[in-house]
Amino acid sequence: MSAQRKFGNDVLHRWEGNPILELEDIPFPANAVFNGAPVKLGDEYLLLLRVEGQQGYSFFALARSDDGLHFRVEDKPALLPASKGPFSRYESRGIEDPRATFLDGTYYVMYTAVSEFGFRIALCKTDDFRSFKRLAFISEPGNKDGVLFPEKINGQYVRLDRPIGLGIGSVWISYSNDLYSWGNSKVLFSPRRGYWDSFRVGASVPPIRTEYGWLEIYHGTKMTSAGPIYRAGAVFLDLEDPSKVLRRCQVPILSPREDYERIGDVGNVVFPCGAIVEPNGEIKIYYGAADTCIGVATTRIADLLECTIEESDP
Ligand code: BMA
């Protein structure tokens, strides 16, 4: 059986060495590692990891690699939930799902802050992924999956996120003049009845500029009698006006099929949090698998374009 048939013809191709990081690779006591944000700093690949500690709350650790495939995790956590100061109240149950964007000469990281009040989006910045400066909470509770565009559009910062309204999760777009105050929020795209993304959709990878529009790799869920199945999909947004969806995939680009994606703390989950576009055009997408480990899969813009169709009413 060919590798492609074995993997069910997903548009993304898993690396045969997956998972690239699992609990055994964490050099301190932890419960699981998943949902990491990749960046390429010079020739080095960094992966800011969500690690769930044995207590049950999450924090971030840093992994380094020369090839984007073999990673070594640093001995100490990179960022812990704030224990004092104004951020501590809203991070008391952990920090989750970092997404990193290079913008204005620095890296901004949007992450989910979790507390007794619920989850909300936080923003911090870093130059080296060793020290982080927390900037602000940029949403109230009930919102997560914040991803920042890598450039200003029409003079404004732009982000996607996923507020939960009436239990339904759509991807929204918002704008800001200073990265702190956000507004002019609009629904960008929603779950589709009867589809693999019929229950919720959320932004996953910070948008990537392509000649066909902004590529957003998102996650979508379908509810089943055994719980949700998390898959990955793709949309292309208008370059000048990213509130317009130009194209959307009909089928998922990655579905949980391998044992490490099917079985874990939360089974049937693939959850991308970032991608690296290589000089040769290959896109490496890093994803959490079953909330227990991390995998990498590759694709090309042309393949993603081919699996999307024009939105009838952009
Ligand atoms: C989402 C987030 C992710 C997690 C996923 C699957 O809502 O909480 O951190 O990987 O669910 O459990």
pLDDT in tens, 270-279: 999 999 999 9
pLDDT in tens, 237-257: 999 999 999 999 999 999 999
Strands (E), 53-197: 58-65, 72-73, 95-103, 106-115, 118-126, 133-137, 143-148, 157-165, 168-169, 171-176, 182-189
| pTM across the whole model | 0.96
Q: Per-residue pLDDT for 8 more than 70? A: no
Fold held by 13-310: Tachylectin-2; Chain A (2.115.10)
Domain spans in the chain, listed from the N-terminal domain onward: 13-310
Closest CA to 48 of 99, 108, 101: 99
C-beta of 136 in contact with ligand 1 (< 6 A): no
| CA 221/CA 198 separation, integer angstroms | 6
C-beta of 291 in contact with ligand 1 (< 6 A): yes
- Token readout for 133 is 């400066």
Contact 309, 247 (CB under 8 A): yes
C-beta of 261 in contact with ligand 1 (< 6 A): no
Answer whether the bond into residue 256 is a cis peptide, omega within 30°. Answer: no
Q: Which of 112, 219, 269, 292 gets mutated to test ligand 1 (max ligand atoms within 8 A of its CB)? A: 269
pLDDT in tens, 26-49: 999 999 999 999 999 999 999 999
Contact 177, 168 (CB under 8 A): no
